[in-house]
Amino acid sequence: MNSAHVDHDAIAALRAELVSAAGRGIARRRRRRRAATATALAAAVVLLALAAGAAAVANLGTGVSAIDELLDVEHGYGGPGGLPAGRGTEPVDVRIGDGVYRFIAYLNRRGEVVTAYAEPHRGGVRGGGSGGGPHAADLARTLERRGAVLHGSTHGPEQRVWWGYADGSVESVRVSVPAGEWIVKMSPPWRPPASGARPLRVLVVIDEADIDVGGDGVQMNEADRLMQPMPKLEPVYGN
């Protein structure tokens, strides 16, 4: 604290001290009250800041821990713009090979609707996703016209899996061609938090017909047999 100092003789200094003693006592009490108030306010600000920070972190998650860990490992599939802008669809669980993957759709910070799938594995996480996709309003227009679309797949001799989206008003999806042992899974409707968006569902279509490649695994000359054509979808709408 800055102070101005003036030289006095001893008697003058004593007189000044006696006169101002009461004033200093009052000032000290006032300073203590102000300090206590300031400390309480600072503590409240810190608590509010921590609460706001926790809310912000929570809002960055998709709501599925394995997906959030995957996105953290992958650094948002290309920078902060690829990170989720909030919670996504409810997950759809799909067995692929020796694992059960959780599929979701979410909105990233670029305003794109994105799919991702992941599962905990050996103390970490494995999975994948598109990393980008159509803007919410564009996807809404596409689903309004077509009902359901697919955009990704994985192929093996025991199973082929495709994923995409269905309009929120679609109650079920049938596969007309090709022939196969089809299973269709969808999430409940979810509306991306973006302008022009409509409710949609994450859609997973699975063919569990076995493709015989012998007991020696998939050889290079057999890989083409696994690449089945994309299924044709027939959406069924509710009343």
Q: What pLDDT, on a 0 to 100 scale, did the predictor assign at position 78?
A: 57
Mean pLDDT in the chain? 77
pLDDT (tens digit per residue) in 152-194: 988 888 888 999 999 999 999 999 888 789 999 999 999 999 9
pLDDT (tens digit per residue) in 25-73: 444 444 444 444 444 333 333 333 333 333 334 446 899 999 998 887 7
77 pLDDT band, cuts 50/70/90, is low
DSSP the chain: ---------HHHHHHHHHHHHHHHHHHHHHHHHHHHHHHHHHHHHHHHHHHHHHHHHHHHS-S-HHHHHHHHHTHHHHSGGGSBSS--PPPEEEEETTEEEEEEEEEBTTSBEEEEEEEEETTEEEEEE-S---BHHHHHHHHHHHSEEEEEEEE-SS-EEEEEEEETTEEEEEEEES-S-EEEEEPPPB--SSTT---EEEEEEEE-------TT---GGGHHHH-PPPPEEEEEE--
